[in-house]
Amino acid sequence: MNTQDRQNIRITGTASAAGGTYNQIRIMGEGKLTGDIDCITFGCTGTADITGQFVSQIFKVHGTTVVNGTVSNDKTTVNGEMTVHGDATIRDGKINGQLNVKNNLFGQELKLYGMVQVDGDCEIDRLYGKGAFDVKGLLNAGQMDVQLYWPSQANEIGGEHITVKKAQGISGMMKSLFDMFKIQPDARLTARSIEGDDIVLENTTAQFVRGNNVTIGPGCHIEHVEYRNTYNQASDAIVNHYSQV
């Protein structure tokens, strides 16, 4: 369907709309959408409650959006909170707030400047930024370069190039929250196993780390490391056993 043939939805205040094929959907208030939706752009400054499968090219959240169904977006920006009660495919995402996915998350590139929680598996070609994540299943990223502001965890982590470090300095907003609630977060990664080609870790607790080139940096506590080519360990890192295979 051509863009010219698609209608627009604009909700100001409180209103509901049915599913369908649309050009633009804009919610500035409280909106409820029921039924499968295919749209070009979606923007929410307020609260949106969506029931059905959701497909869009551009998806922007500046408030709170809940999708009771699957999501497939080309480009997604979350500046507030987004919750998906189903699988989510986000080809290009930027998370400045919080993204919650109750099933699995798939994507090509995810820029993390907030928090991502996934109850299933997370498969991303490239994951980078400063923030935190909680993945109950497998976190599989071709390239992963994350600086942690907050405790993070995954059951298993796999990828080609994996770098996890503790972020230096925090944003003004996060510092204000920490000071208000007297929080001193331990920006630590906890995982059962981490496996990749090139691995660089800081502030990480894991049972197994396996890779071609492995660097265990400051603040790490690792039970067992297996490496093929090179191995480096910081003086204050704790590794109970390491071996070349």
How do residues 63-95 score in pLDDT, each as one tens digit? 999 999 999 999 999 999 999 999 999 999 999
pLDDT band (50, 70, 90) for residue 53: very high
Nearest CA to 18 out of 61, 52, 46, 57 is that of: 52
pLDDT tens figures, 121-150: 999 999 999 999 999 999 999 999 999 999
Q: Which two tokens stand for residue 222?
A: 């690792």
pLDDT score recorded for residue 181: 45
Per-residue pLDDT, averaged over 40-62, amounts to 98
Q: For the residues of 66-125, what is the DSSP string, one character each? A: EEES-EEEEEEEESSEEEESS-EEEEEEEESSEEEESS-EEEEEEEESSEEEESS-EEEE
- Across residues 2-19, what is the average pLDDT? 89
For tokens 């196993």, name the residue. 193
pLDDT band at 5 (very low <50, low <70, confident <90, very high): confident
In angstroms, the CA 225 to CA 229 distance is: 12
d(CA 45, CA 34): 18
Task: Give the percent of the chain with pLDDT over 70.
Answer: 91
Alpha-carbon gap, residue 9 to 90, rounded angstroms? 23
Query: Which residue from 29, 66, 59 is spatially nearest to 43, judged by alpha carbons?
Result: 59
Contact of 92 with 77, CB cutoff 8 Å? no
**Tell me, what's the pLDDT at 175?**
53
113 in Cβ contact with 97 (< 8 Å): no
pTM of the model: 0.91
The pair of three-digit structure tokens given for residue 17, joined into one six-digit string: 């709309």
148-207: per-residue pLDDT in tens?
999 999 999 999 999 999 987 655 445 554 555 444 567 999 999 999 999 999 999 999
Distance between CA atoms of residues 44 and 11, nearest Å: 9
